[in-house]
Amino acid sequence: MISATHKLLFSALLLFSGNFVARAQVSVAITDPQPGVTSTGHAWEGGLVQTWHVNIGDVVKKGDLVVSLEHVQQQHAFETAKLLAENRAPLESVMGDMKKKEAALDEGKDRFRRRQISEEQLQILEGDAEIARAQIKQTNLNIKLAHLNMDLAEKLLERRYIRSPINGTIVAISHSPGKNVGAGEAIVTVSDFSTLAVEVPLVGESLSGLETGDSLTVLTEGGGHRLARIVSMESLPGGAEGGRLVRLLFANTRPNSPESYQLLLPKGLQGAPPAKSPEKS
């Protein structure tokens, strides 16, 4: 994680028509670059925090379990529903009964042809076989219902877990075990340091040549370079007239080893002066 103590010096080389313009290089100092993406994991419902499964600084993947709320009741309901859904004994019992009834019916038909039993007795055997087939249908419906109950119980149990919303690094967990969290409340913050975001206040006659989506070249302290993309340009609130706050994103190949960078500005472009504080009346 890049701390506020690591001051980064950014310089850029503007790309025009695929060619680098490298005239009148001017440095603009930037402090505290931010991770390119930060997201929070929220509690689906309220409850007591039971367990942290990660620590601050751990690297996680999207969907990794990070915090569990107390879930004894939901766990018991899920395990009970799972046992009922996976219990094959009732189906095996009615299947065995149906085989016996169908065998008895086959034998009865043969005896009826040989006039050893009456038509009424044969109808009783046919009724018994029909009842056995109906019991199998009902048992299969019960099994489907049990699986639906198990799926519901699993979803209710899952709501007691808070998972990482993105790939990244755990930067904050707001509630310690034993503390209550409210429904919808943010409980974990994850940042993706694979990209860095910086905001550069700029003014100058060349500013009109910059557009969202343009590429800039960031030079690293080791002599390498990376392309940075302009993702937004906004007016400076309370800043220099005509200035823009330029937000850049670029790849961070050494998230655990902070580097210094330089952003080389072309001629006619410079860092904006700090905004003036409002005068007290």
Chain segment 139-178, per-residue pLDDT in tens: 999 999 999 999 999 999 999 999 999 999 999 999 999 9
Residue type at 17? Answer: S
Whether residue 38 contacts residue 189, with contact meaning beta carbons closer than 8 Å, is answered with: yes
- The H or E element that residue 73 is part of is helix 72-86
Q: CA-to-CA distance for 243 and 236, rounded, in angstroms?
A: 6
CA nearest to 193, candidates 259, 146, 238: 259
CA nearest to 270, candidates 179, 213, 203: 203
pLDDT, residue 273, reads 61
Rounded to 5°, the CA angle 253-10-217 comes to 65
CB atoms within 10 A of CB 26: 16
pLDDT, residue 202, reads 81
Of 270 and 145, the structure prediction assigns the larger pLDDT to 145
Whether residue 247 contacts residue 198, with contact meaning beta carbons closer than 8 Å, is answered with: yes
CA dihedral 216, 262, 190, 178 (to 10 degrees): -160
Chain segment 202-257, per-residue pLDDT in tens: 877 777 778 899 877 777 766 777 788 889 988 887 655 678 888 888 888 776 66
Q: CA-to-CA distance for 118 and 124, rounded, in angstroms?
A: 10
Calculate mean pLDDT across residues 94-109. Answer: 94
Whether residue 266 contacts residue 237, with contact meaning beta carbons closer than 8 Å, is answered with: no
Q: CA-to-CA distance for 162 and 19, rounded, in angstroms?
A: 48
